[in-house]
Amino acid sequence: MFSTRLGSPRNGVGIFLAVLLLAAGALITYSQTRAFVWDEGFHLVAAALIARGKRPYVDFCFPQTPINAYFNAALIRVFGQDWHAPHLLAALFVVGGMILTAQFLLAHLPAGKPRWTTAICAAIFVGFDTIVMQFGTVAQAYGSGLFFAVAAFRAAVAAVGRKSAWLAFAAGLLAGVAAGCSLLTAPVAAVLLPWSLWNNQAGNRWQKCAAFVAGAALPFAPVVRLFIEAPQQVFFNIVEYQALYRRVNWPGATLHDFAVMTGWLGSPQALFIGSLALAGIWRVLRESVWGPEFRLPAWLCLGLGLSIALAHPTFERYFIFLVPFASILAVVGLAGLASRRVAGIAAVLFAMSCGRQLFEDRDATNWKTYETVVRKVAEVTPPGAMLYAEELVYFRLGRTPPEGLEFSYTRNLRLPAEREKLLHVVSQAEFKEQIKAGRFATVQSCKDDLIEFYELPAVFPHQADVEDCSVFWGKVKTSK
């Protein structure tokens, strides 16, 4: 893929553009064909409800910051209630983050370093990272959070050398948008601000600090407005649920976290990038040619990594936000350890490992296979009848979920009745009583423990198993 002549501008530009197009094509194609995550259902439902004029937190439970949902709601208003447009937007966000990462190396690599090789490798390390491919291309906030985090990093690096405070404002604004998409990216702002103050080279650093803070606060104006209107609901969704209720009825959450934190030992890509990133940090600290802008990715990896590791429970996909910054450090380490030809081989093998992992997951559920579940539910549910189902089903059928099922994880909570009503929460026990009382004509679930708890085979006369899910319908059996 690379030759010893890669350093020439003509060869470098051509191969660089080819790699970008290849990675962008792979990400977009995957987003439209295979990308699927069970939890994107409640994000899509939230976007659909917002598109209909509903307010997050106030009108329904949505324990996330809302900007990504607003993006998807805008797409739904324009293109209709379908998952393709949100997936495409997410993939384009990832492509943008990949380009910004690679272009950073083109702009800031010290003279004499293999500029095009490192930029090409960085694009491959971001675009063909398996976690990025699988989760950055769905309707959740991984793609948008990644893009705005990298954009904030780029703006902060540029701002320290300018007298004007506008770039500092832009860095704060972009970091705030990233956190407004996903709170997992909140450490980006917390790292960029002190780094910018310490490394400021022109202009008044305190004016820039104020501009950064103002920019970071601006994206949260909708949340502040909703908080003024409904403080208890907003506090519960943004703070209380995340801090206290995410692990409710999950006795194995600690063991799960341990498995996630040691999972990199079984991931060739994580081992490869992690090892090279450590080598890159060593080079940046030991060699004076590397400016402070190359230390910043290490601080971002540290801040994001610690914050995500302390999330309880945490998940491997949360670490997606580290990928661009770890990739920058990895190519720095690779450039010091290998020739251009070896770097090219390493990049190709990295991309092939992504393809191999995706091939191994070829039988996993995707939107195409899940549509069979949706069709069965539509077939057996009478028009206008009440339906208990997963958020994905409500979204595909264009139906508004009953209160408490906009974000179904809240059914695990047990709160005082008045608070449940305020927060739009309905417990499993209450749903069980409603099901037995015949409120729902159809119940669909892919969770065996939930089916057992609701005693659905004993309640409904009809059952169909579709893919990995079950659908129950008919007149509820009455106990004698």
pLDDT band at 129; cut points 50, 70, 90: very high
Instruction: Count the helix, strand and coil residues of the chain and give each as a percent rounded to the nearest 5.
Output: 70, 5, 25
pLDDT at residue number 349? 93
The tens digit of pLDDT for each residue in 165-210 reads: 999 999 999 999 999 999 999 999 999 999 999 999 999 999 999 9
Tell me if residue 120 falls in helix, strand or coil: helix
- Peptide bond just before 187 cis, omega within 30 deg: no
pLDDT at residue number 111? 82
Cα–Cα distance, 60 to 407 (Å, whole number):
8
Indicate the domain borders of the chain: 9-360, 367-473
Tell me if residue 202 falls in helix, strand or coil: coil
The residue whose two tokens read 């191999």 is 356
User: Whole-structure pTM over 0.85, yes or no?
Assistant: yes
Across the chain, mean pLDDT equals: 93
Tell me if residue 60 falls in helix, strand or coil: strand
DSSP state of 298: H
Among the ranges given (166-170, 200-204, 281-285, 343-347), the one the predictor scored with the smallest mean pLDDT: 343-347
Among the ranges given (74-83, 126-135, 345-354), the one the predictor scored with the smallest mean pLDDT: 345-354
Work out the average pLDDT over 103-126: 91
Cα–Cα distance, 413 to 428 (Å, whole number):
8
Cα–Cα distance, 163 to 190 (Å, whole number):
22
Contact 335, 117 (CB under 8 A): yes
pLDDT band at 9; cut points 50, 70, 90: low
Partners of 70 in beta bridges? none
Q: Helices 340-360 and 115-127 sit at what angle, rounded to 10 degrees?
A: 10
pLDDT at residue number 225? 96
Tokens of 386: 């009440």
Work out the average pLDDT over 55-84: 97
Cα–Cα distance, 100 to 96 (Å, whole number):
6
pLDDT band at 274; cut points 50, 70, 90: very high
Q: Does pLDDT of 8 surpass 80? A: no
pLDDT at residue number 2? 42
Work out the average pLDDT over 204-233: 97
Cα–Cα distance, 122 to 277 (Å, whole number):
12
Cα–Cα distance, 197 to 289 (Å, whole number):
21
Contact 320, 138 (CB under 8 A): no
pLDDT at residue number 437? 95
DSSP state of 464: E
Q: Does pLDDT of 316 surpass 60? A: yes
Q: Does pLDDT of 142 surpass 80? A: yes
Q: Does pLDDT of 3 surpass 60? A: no
